Structure 1
Amino acid sequence: MTTSKPVNQVNLRNIVLEMLLKVNKGEKSHVALKSTLDKNVSLDKHQRSFITRLFQGTLERRIELDFIINQFSKTPVNKMKPVIREILRMGVYQIKYMDNVPVSAVCNEGVKLAEKRKFRNLKGFVNGVLRNVARNIEKIEYPKEQKERLSVIYSVPKWIIEKWTKEYGISKTEEMLEGLYKPKATSVRCNTSKATVEEIVKSLEYQGTTVEKSKLYDKALKISGYDKLENLDVFKAGMVTVQDESSMMVGIAANPKEKDYIIDVCAAPGGKSLHVSELLNGTGTVEARDLTEYKIGLIEENIARVGNENIITKVSDATVLDKEAIEKADIVIADLPCSGLGVIGNKSDIKYNITQNQIDELVELQRKILKQISKYVKQGGKLLYSTCTVNRQENDSNVKWIQDNLPFKLQSLNGIVPEQLKCEKGCLQIYPGQYGMDGFFVSLFIRE
């Protein structure tokens, strides 16, 4: 009689621990996740899902997890060895947010991880903290002070809570915080030059993917339930591009006409460039620029997959004037480097690393870039300024700066973007979670 061995004996929690330690050393969370999943090709769908959920959840709930741990540990979290700190965070996340994982498994696996990582002497400490948390998880008392409480419950640094409260009020702030945690399907844009939306939907469903049509844009779909994106036939054939619906609003707002020459100055990984190139119906030219060969490589990968022929790339520093491009472009897209506070629901490490000083520096960089690239716009041409943040300093204040310092007039996006999206003062501010989107800002100017 023979017995079959488990197909995969890989320690999933150890993989997550390694990813968390990489993020602690400065690696971006989405990069760590993608490279890990790409490397571990033998993992099945459920294993990949477990790794993704535990990694992202432990990261996004860090402030709350530390708050809980500190109530049951004599050693404060910030005094712990990084490995032990992450083992405890992972354990508490599973206890509080992963109901299908038995507490006994959480504690036992935490102890095994400590031993595996050469911290045998701290096995008892890890076990004691996790079991104590498990016994008392329903009795946790959160801070009474409102902003402190919001900071802990939603795991967003208090200074960001204070900033949003000052700019938007407490009610809108809570709404945005809730939006960060709304479940999100993958948003894809259909390339209708290759197939109809219905054909794409049919292919996705044939491969077992759950598909929901967008309420905002007839070329957008929300997909879930698939294993690897790269295995979907429509992705391999270049019929869809992954792009958040909020980002699609840039192409919609640009509203290009056939034969336009468009420059996208900070284009990587190329979603917006591809979108406007498709809207040109095979005519015109889109020049997708970015700072480094690596970023241009990301754009070219997407171009090769999609196969659009009216798009070219160029390595270019947007802060340096390109004299050959002066007054050549019908449209300039300036989706500029920003604080990213609109996408912290997807990239949790941003909220822990960004500072107010960095935001101030980003505003200066945005204005330095705008001063140069605005010169590429023809008389009567369009400038699209957008960011993936909800920070008024980078959005509203920069709109005013453009009007005060550059020869451009603000154009209202009402009647251009989907009617469900209301444009305050003519600009589009999307809040995290609104229609299942990331936080995003779009403004449109015409050169006078």
Structure 2
Amino acid sequence: MELIHRNLLIGIHDALQETFFGERKYADKVIERLLKAHRQWGSADRKVVSEIFYNIIRWKKRLEYYMGENAKPDNIYKMIISYCLWTKTHYKKFEEFDGVKVADVLVKLKKNKVPSKAFEYSIPDWLVETFERELGANWEKEMIALNEQAPTVLRANTLKTSTKELISDLRDEDVTAFPIKNYPDAVQLEEKKNVFLTTAFKDGLFEVQDASSQKIGEFLDVKEGQRVVDVCAGAGGKTLHLASLMNNKGQIIALDIYAWKLAELKRRARRAGAQNIETRLIEDTKVIKRLHEKADRLLIDAPCSGLGVLKRNPDSKWKIDQQFLDRIKIEQQKILQDYSKIIKVGGKMIYATCSILPSENREQVDLFLKNNANYALLEEKKVMPSEGYDGFYMALIERK
């Protein structure tokens, strides 16, 4: 077994502490700060730290079982050791580390059987019940996929380049990538690399965006010269894709309730050369009312449970519960009801989530259509994690 140095262990420990205790910060932000704080670590060390960090988050419940019934949840060193011994990676045999005895862990590891599906797939008990109820017999297939590591997918910015040119430019910077069939703007990396340091990124030739997420922009069927509104724009991943699909012609109004997200969108738009985007902060209901019946296309990328993107955000499953799910479904229906008035008669909108639960997806659409007879569902798409990329739902709806 390989040796993992003590300073790396301490870094992983501190990052997990930030993620699970105290302010319970988002894992991607925690690891980003950790790696920035330790620029002296080589690429191999950085890869090991990221891999162990995310896999421990992913397999937290199973590891707690291996740690033993009396293990304290904040005994993070024991969790790290359990992971390393279970996967037979990164650790040479030793008697103990910081008071953690390997022998205590090995007793459970030798059995290598867990008492329930919650432990097997490392998810909360309530989520097992939810998946069984909503996904039926297929839930385990999807959960297996959700416990895999997400690939790194880029979207070629067609305002500046093509997928073929991007692959060539990345190759010149020692980054190997390949096109993805049926995803016209997508490029997948052969192995994870820090692409944000490349000249191609600094020149705005690409954005990091999962292949499934790229389907949403295409599905909206935008045209040059149209007015398009993105009401939950966030930092603008899908907004920027719409700008490239429209070839910078027409108008995109990007809305969000967070000013810092819109500031990030503006920064990204400048780098991408996207010139047809206007940002507006949702400070009150008047912002929405002024846009009633003004848009040809509308994108509602609604807040959701995020259960379709656990590959890349495994900490989400430990930070939500059934009460959160109940609240978010009420919010989704309100957003659909309020924001749908933005499109003109004859206009189209997409309701999308990165969830795989029917109760957040088709059931929300059906309820909306039941209460709004002048809207009709044209088409829907479901992308499941077992297909290889993130899980997404999208419904194309027309205002009649």
**TM bucket, shorter chain:** over 0.9
- Counterpart CA distance in 1 for 2:164 and 2:113 is 51
* Deviation at residue 226 of structure 1 after TM alignment: 5.2
The residue number in structure 2 matching 1:139 is: 111
Query: Judging changes above 3 Å, is the alpha-carbon distance between structure 1 residues 10 and 278 closer, same or farther for their aligned structure 2 residues?
Result: farther
SS of residue in 1 equivalent to 2:266: helix
SS of residue in 1 equivalent to 2:110: helix
Alignment partner of 2:78 out of 88, 97, 101 = 88
- Counterpart CA distance in 1 for 2:176 and 2:107 is 38
Is the CA contact 2:66–2:108 (under 8 Å) kept in the aligned structure 1? no
The residue number in structure 1 matching 2:320 is: 354
Query: Judging changes above 3 Å, is the alpha-carbon distance between structure 1 residues 86 and 389 closer, same or farther for their aligned structure 2 residues?
Result: same
Deviations 1:169-195 (A, max 9, x none): 23x111101111334321111112212
Residue 16 in structure 1 maps to residue 12 in structure 2: yes
SS of residue in 2 equivalent to 1:333: strand
Alignment partner of 2:49 out of 48, 51, 54 = 51
Residue 165 in structure 1 maps to residue 132 in structure 2: yes
Is the CA contact 1:70–1:76 (under 8 Å) kept in the aligned structure 2? yes
Residue 208 in structure 1 maps to residue 174 in structure 2: yes
- Provide structure 1 residue ranges, at least 5 long, that are not aligned to the other structure: 1-8, 112-122, 413-426
* Deviation at residue 41 of structure 1 after TM alignment: 2.3
**Which structure's relative contact order is higher, taking Cα pairs within 8 Å and 6+ residues apart?**
2
Deviations 1:330-381 (A, max 9, x none): 1110001111111122112211121111111111111111121111101101
Deviations 1:263-311 (A, max 9, x none): 1111112111000111001200111111111111221221122121111
**Which structure would you say has the larger Rg?**
1
Is the CA contact 2:149–2:311 (under 8 Å) kept in the aligned structure 1? no
Alignment partner of 1:267 out of 225, 233, 252 = 233
Q: Which amino acid aligns with 2:60?
A: R
Deviations 1:20-58 (A, max 9, x none): 111122111111112222232222211110110111111
Normalising by structure 1, report the TM-score: 0.84
Superposition map of 1:38-437 within 5 A: 38-70=36-68, 75-78=70-73, 82=74, 85-104=75-94, 110-111=97-98, 123=99, 126=100, 128=101, 130-134=102-106, 137-143=109-115, 148=116, 150-170=117-137, 172-225=138-191, 227-316=193-282, 322-406=288-372, 407-412=374-379, 427-434=380-387, 436-437=388-389
SS of residue in 2 equivalent to 1:433: helix
- Counterpart CA distance in 2 for 1:298 and 1:142 is 44
Q: Number of paired residues?
A: 393
Q: Which amino acid aligns with 1:77?
A: K
| Alignment RMSD (CA, Å) | 1.9
* Deviation at residue 215 of structure 1 after TM alignment: 2.0
Q: Which amino acid aligns with 1:169?
A: G
Normalising by structure 2, report the TM-score: 0.93
Is the CA contact 2:59–2:121 (under 8 Å) kept in the aligned structure 1? yes
SS of residue in 1 equivalent to 2:325: helix
Deviations 1:236-281 (A, max 9, x none): 1111111111111110110101101111111112111000111001
Q: Which amino acid aligns with 2:64?
A: D
SS of residue in 2 equivalent to 1:218: strand
Percentage identity across paired residues of the two chains: 27
Is the CA contact 1:282–1:308 (under 8 Å) kept in the aligned structure 2? yes
Is the CA contact 1:334–1:386 (under 8 Å) kept in the aligned structure 2? yes
SS of residue in 2 equivalent to 1:390: coil
* Deviation at residue 100 of structure 1 after TM alignment: 4.3
- Provide structure 2 residue ranges, at least 5 long, that are not aligned to the other structure: none
